[in-house]
Amino acid sequence: MNLPDSLQDLSWELPHTFMGLDEDASDFARAKTVILPVPYESTTSYGGGTSRGPAAILEASRYIELYDQELDGEPWETGISTLPALQLTGAGPEAAMAELREAYDRIVDAGPNKFVITLGGEHSISSPPILSWAKRLKGERMTVLQLDAHTDLRPEYEGTAYSHAAVMHQVREHVDIVAVGIRALTRGEAKLAKGSDEIRVFYADDIHESDGWMDEVVERLTGNVYISVDVDCFDPSLVPSTGTPEPGGMTWYPVLKLLRKVFDATNVRAVDVVELAPVPGLHAPDFMVAKLIYKMIGYKFS
Ligand SMILES: [Mn+2]
């Protein structure tokens, strides 16, 4: 902390960084992970509040145990840098996404081997990071693993192609998509997915009874993977704090099991976690999402 030496040892609260890490553990230059908060919300269609998602995740993360019993390790030791929240222009979704793209490109340029975790905000914020990676990897194909209740494959929604409901349509020509946990989509989206070799959907009602599908997911993934977690992939009993809670969602352990397999088998380049709309007084979902992020950091570096 930037204080006189005589004040350093007072009983200050934990810093408002991911996990409450101090300056040393969250130093950008040495951290292997970078957290980028993007509290952007503009095209939300039903329940709002995703602009408060990043702050709620950071707050909850300060209470997570540093020791991960499953991994028998302390993943924070690899360093986790928390950037200030990015404030995107209010001049419309297209301008905001262009601004995010420029910021994301520059952040990855500043730390080319870092594991960047973007915190939304609404789901539209996934497309600039995905397109940034697709371009960066040039000829190498990348797969987006999308955990979500919705395919988000609409060509546009409410007049904009930059809507949360159109985010995967925006990127589908540049990446393969494997969508898991889907249970609400239009007839047009279902048809588009069915007719495309680049899109594979694992519907929630096909995967809730066993785990056999997980290896199929891993087989579909190319070497480079970008993971986009829309928290509405989870059952609303676990995460009611989201704009469009759909019944029949995934639960904690199957999601962890899938993610561990994916991190073990592929090169996960970056992650985003979107659509948490925190409900005041209901902190369990915020904590669960924060812990999910810590789990992914652990899987990446263990
Ligand atoms: Mn969704």
Among 9-13, 29-33, 41-45, 298-302, the least confident range: 41-45
Q: How far is the CA of 217 from the centre of ligand 1 (A)?
A: 19
209 falls within a domain: yes
Ligand 1 center–CA 96 separation, angstroms: 20
Assess whether pLDDT exceeds 90 at residue 276. Answer: yes
| 1 belongs to a structural domain | no
Residue 30 CA to ligand 1 centre (angstroms): 34
Extract the tokens encoding 86: 């990015």
Q: What is the pLDDT of residue 147?
A: 98
CB of 124 closer than 8 Å to CB of 43: yes
Where residue 159 sits, what CATH number does that domain have? 3.40.800.10
Q: What is the pLDDT of residue 181?
A: 98
User: Average pLDDT of 65-91?
Assistant: 97
Neighbour tally for 209: CB within 10 Å: 8
Per-residue pLDDT tens for 112-168? Answer: 999 999 999 999 999 999 999 999 998 898 999 999 999 999 999 988 999 999 999
Residue 88 lies in a domain: yes
Q: Give the total residue count for the chain.
A: 302
How far apart, in whole angstroms, are the C-alpha atoms of residue 82 and residue 28? Answer: 8
Give residue 24 CA to ligand 1 midpoint distance, Å: 36
Residue-wise pLDDT tens digits, 166-176: 999 999 999 99
Q: pLDDT (tens digit, 9 = 90+) per residue, 204-252?
A: 999 999 999 999 999 999 799 999 999 999 999 999 999 999 999 999 9
Q: What is the CA(269)–ligand 1 centre distance, in A? A: 22
Q: Rounded CA gap, 49 and 178, in Å?
A: 27
Query: How many angstroms is it from 10 CA to the middle of ligand 1?
Result: 44
Residue 198 within any structural domain of the chain: yes
Q: Residue 185 C-alpha to ligand 1 middle, in angstroms?
A: 10
Domain count, the chain: 1
Ligand 1 mean position, distance from CA 99 (Å): 23
Mean pLDDT on 270-295: 98
Helices (DSSP H) in the chain: which residue ranges?
53-61, 93-110, 127-136, 167-171, 187-194, 204-207, 213-220, 252-265, 284-301
- Indicate yes or no: pTM above 0.85: yes
Q: What is the mean pLDDT of residues 273-277?
A: 98
- Between the CA of 256 and the centroid of ligand 1 the distance, in Å, is 19
Q: Residue 23 Cα, ligand 1 centroid: separation in angstroms?
A: 35
Upper half-sphere CA count for residue 198 (Cβ side, 13 Å): 14
Domain that residue 98 falls in: 13-301
Cβ–Cβ contacts within 10 Å for residue 128, how many? Answer: 26
Tokens of 278: 């925190």
- Which residues, by Cβ under 5 Å, contact ligand 1, an ion? 148-150, 230, 232
> What residues pair up with 115 in beta bridges, in sequence order?
33
In a domain, residue 5? The reply is: no
In tens, the pLDDT along 20-72 reads 999 999 999 999 999 999 999 987 767 789 999 999 999 999 999 999 999 99
Is 175 domain-assigned?
yes
CB atoms within 10 A of CB 16: 12
Ligand 1 centre to CA of 74 (Å) is 31
Token pair belonging to 121: 């905000």
How much distance in Å is there from the Cα of 230 to the middle of ligand 1?
5
CA of residue 15 to ligand 1 center, whole Å: 31
Q: Is residue 126 part of a domain?
A: yes
- Cα 126 to its chain centre, rounded Å, is 8
In a domain, residue 233? The reply is yes
The span from the CA of 139 to the CA of 165, in Å, is 28
Beta strand 199-203 with 224-230 is: unpaired
